[in-house]
Amino acid sequence: MQERLSFYKKRESAVHRLNPLSKLTLALGIVFVSFLSPYYWTPHLLILFAVIPLSLLGKVLREYINAMLRLILPTAGFLFIMQALFQPLEGVELFRFGFLHPTQESVLFAFANATRIVVMVSSFTIFLLTTHPNELMTDLTRRGLPGQFAYVIISTLQIIPQMQAKAQTIIAAQRSRGLDTESTFFKRAGSLIPLVGPLVFGSLVEVEERAIAIEARGFTSTRVKTSLNSIPDTNKDKLIRWSLIVIIIVTLASRIWLS
């Protein structure tokens, strides 16, 4: 059974040591620049000069390439084909096949979009690979994010695998009583109904118990919360965050100004 839902890879690196908020700003900054920049080559430069160096620095290049090949490139490729073929942009017609008549403009548009998606998913992949969810939430809570919100995010990461395991148990229990899970689509869809009842109602009962359990540990206490682990926030972090904000503003301004 999977213990939790998290991409985090524990390594010793300069990227891992950064403050989680700096890393979040970095990831968002890369996304903003790639989407706001009017040039179609910006995403390529970002991949070459920001994403790949960061993955090297964070010692997660292998995991990143893995995610790239398995998830990011296939998704972006699919997106590119669909948009290139079906985006009705006026312009130089490349070829005509039945009702399909892609233009040079639609292909360029699709290409720019797909590469932006690649940059977005890439930068967040590296963010998630190098940031422990708990550190991120602790840091954000310290900066004023409501504790309840952080709890929902973190507990979801842990509870979803638990619910999957429970669903498996219920399926096994129902199958042992003759539930059909292997025949036609409609029969199988119908067999979901006896699964949903126990899973949903069981979870609702659990929610109350869990609410009592965390309440018994002062979850909604009005006192100012403290945290067990201190999250480093150095001057370097502040510098990184401010420069990124400047870069985002400059890109935004250039976008408005240039177009």
Partner 1 sequence: MAIVNLQNVTYRYPLTDESVLKNINLQVDEGEFLAVIGPNGSGKSTLCYTLAGFVPHFFKGEISGSVEVAGLESSASTLDEWVMNVGLAFQNPFNQISGAKFTVFEEIAFGLENIGVPREEMKPRVEDAMKLTGITDLADRSPYSLSGGQQQRVALTSILVMQPKVLVLDEPTSQLDPIGTREVFGVIRTLAEKGMTVILAEHKVEWIANFADRVIALHEGQIILDGLPGEVLTSDILLEKGFGISRYTSVARKARAIGLWKNSNLPVTLDEAVDGFKR
Q: Which residues contact 39 (CB under 8 A, 6 or more apart)?
A: none
Q: How far is the CB of 126 from partner 1 (least distance, A)?
A: 21
Site string for partner 1, 216-245 (x = CB under 8 A): xxxxxxxxxxxxxxx---------------
Report 39-78 residues binding partner 1 (CB under 8 A). none
DSSP at 49: I
How would DSSP label each residue in 210-237?
A: HHHHHHTTTTT-SSPP--SSPPP--HHH
149 sits near partner 1 (criterion: CB under 8 A): no
Of positions 36, 154, 170, 252, contacts partner 1 by CB under 8 A = 154
Of positions 38, 41, 149, 155, contacts partner 1 by CB under 8 A = 155
| CB closer to partner 1, 142 vs 255 | 142
Please compute, for residue 241, the number of CA atoms within 13 A of its CA located in the half-sphere on the CB side.
14
Token digits for 166?
A: 């429970």
Residue 100: beta bridge partners?
A: 97
DSSP at 182: S
Size of the site for partner 1 (CB under 8 A): 35
162 sits near partner 1 (criterion: CB under 8 A): yes
Of positions 35, 40, 111, 151, contacts partner 1 by CB under 8 A = 151
Site string for partner 1, 181-220 (x = CB under 8 A): -------------------------x--xxxxxxxxxxxx
Q: Which stretch binds partner 1 (CB under 8 A): 16-24, 35-43, 91-99, 144-152?
A: 144-152
Maximum Cα–Cα distance for the chain, whole Å?
A: 68
Instruction: Determine the Cα–Cα distance for residues 174 and 194; give it in Å rounded to an integer.
Output: 8
DSSP at 192: T
Q: How far is the CB of 134 from partner 1 (least distance, A)?
A: 6
The residue whose two tokens read 């199988």 is 188
Q: How far is the CB of 152 from partner 1 (least distance, A)?
A: 9
Instruction: Determine the Cα–Cα distance for residues 217 and 202; give it in Å rounded to an integer.
Output: 23
Instruction: Determine the Cα–Cα distance for residues 51 and 28; give it in Å rounded to an integer.
Output: 12
Q: How far is the CB of 8 from partner 1 (least distance, A)?
A: 9
Q: How far is the CB of 163 from partner 1 (least distance, A)?
A: 11
Q: Which residues bind partner 1 (CB under 8 A)?
A: 3-4, 132, 134, 147, 150-151, 154-155, 158-159, 162, 206, 209-230
